[in-house]
Amino acid sequence: MRFLTVKLLAATALSLTLAACVPGTTLPGAPAAVAQAPVPTDNALHYAGVSDDGKTVPTVPVEKVPPEFQVQQVDYTSAEAVGTIIIAPSERHLYYVNGKNTALRYGIAVGRAGFQWAGVANITSRTHWPKWTPPPEMIDRHPELAKWEKGQPGGPTNPLGARALYLTTNGVDYGYRIHGTPEWFSIGKNASSGCIRMINQDVMDLYNRVQDGAKVVVLNADGSYPDKLKLPPPAPKKKKPAPAPVEAVAPVLSATPTMLPGATTLPAAPAATITPAEASPAATVAPDATMAPAATMAPAAATTAPAATAPVVTAPDATAPVATTPAVTAPAATTAPAVTAPAPAVCAVPLVNGLCPQP
């Protein structure tokens, strides 16, 4: 009995010594061990509908899912540690290494042509019923998604499904996820924009097994191990449509002048008609005294003739309208001054032939 007591004390001292050298059983950088969910044995039960966080995950019709894309335990040779995820895009399979040369295999949907990628990443976060925000490039391809530019809340119709595992490479988030999908019928196809889709019940099962910081290997298209991160080429930028050429319109000539705001229409100039009143001062000439008619003379029998005064010739008191042009104003017509003819001289001798003989 005393021997057993001494042996027990020695074992205790040894364990305390090891504990002082290695602080805990977890290696630096390795995720903490978690309890493993049981491997599914009845897929009909595994894919049954379930209530989760107040939301309903619909039943998946197992008979419509090809057996190779239903979750199952398989033999899988790999040098990766337990807890590693290996994705084979060409097979549309995701392997979760859960033992030496064994793995759980899930059916997945992968990136369609132009969206495939390969490389090594890590799971840096996980979430229930994630919010989905389509990137600007996706909105450009599908304008109907613009309504979710601020994010679509998690729910049964959300494209990310019931769970999402976020991947980063060397601390950089390239937007790739392992997530669920309500479109279970897309499993086994190249249907995504680069993310790894799983049936909701499968991603919920994987979520419970995997740990934050777990390694994720995405194999090359030919199944080989990637030596570096290989991303799809960036989508070409959408070219802005060139502006439509402006067709030159020839001006329409019109006989009718264009009226500008505030312009005053000038009256049409009257035809040039010369009237006595319109005559210029030089053209208005008073009748000469020598042109007086003989009828104004006194009869021959009279010895003296009364002084006769010729009537005053006065231009009519009418003024012709002034014709105004944009820059020239015609001078107003001036009334000619009245001219008084001189009275005829009184003849002191008898008239001869009606004329006064000159001395």
- Quick count: other Cβ atoms within 10 Å of Cβ 356? 16
Most confident segment among 62-66, 137-141, 191-195, 348-352: 62-66
CA distances (Å), origin 334, targets 273, 322, 324, 325: 16, 12, 17, 20
CATH of the domain at 111: 2.40.440.10
343 in any annotated domain: no
The answer to the question of residue 264 being in a domain is: no
Domain count, the chain: 1
Give dist(CA 44, CA 201) in Å, integer: 11
Q: Is 359 within the bounds of a domain?
A: no
- Residue 29 belongs to a domain: no
Quick check: 93 and 84 in contact, CB under 8 A? no
The answer to whether the CB of 303 falls within 8 A of the CB of 277 is no
Confidence (pLDDT) at 255: 55
Domain presence at residue 59: yes
Give bridge partners of residue 154 from the DSSP assignment: none
12-41 pLDDT per residue, tens = 333 333 233 333 323 333 444 455 777 888
What's the whole-number mean pLDDT along residues 72-87? 96
Looking at residue 207, the DSSP 8-state letter turns out to be: H
Phi, then psi, of 226 in degrees rounded to 5? -75, 140
What phi and psi, each to the nearest 5 degrees, are found at residue 222? Answer: -90, 5
Per-residue pLDDT tens digits for 289-324: 444 444 444 443 444 444 444 444 444 444 444 444
Assigned token pair, 87: 């994705």
The pLDDT, as a whole number, for residue 98 is 96
**Residue 104's beta-bridge partner residues?**
73, 96
Domain hosting residue 129, numbered range:
50-218
Q: Does residue 338 surpass a pLDDT of 60?
A: no
Amino acid 256: pLDDT: 55
Q: Average model confidence (pLDDT) for the chain?
A: 73
Q: Is 165 a domain residue?
A: yes
Which amino acids are annotated catalytic? 179, 195
Residue of 49, 74, 89, 75 whose CA lies nearest to 188: 89
Residue 325 reports pLDDT greater than 70 = no
- Tell me what pLDDT residue 247 has: 64
Round to whole Å and give the CA distance between 201 and 216. Answer: 20
Mean pLDDT of the 267-280 span: 48
Residue bearing tokens 């298209």: 221
Domain assignment present for residue 278? The answer is no
- Any domain includes 322: no
The pTM (predicted TM-score) of the whole model is 0.58
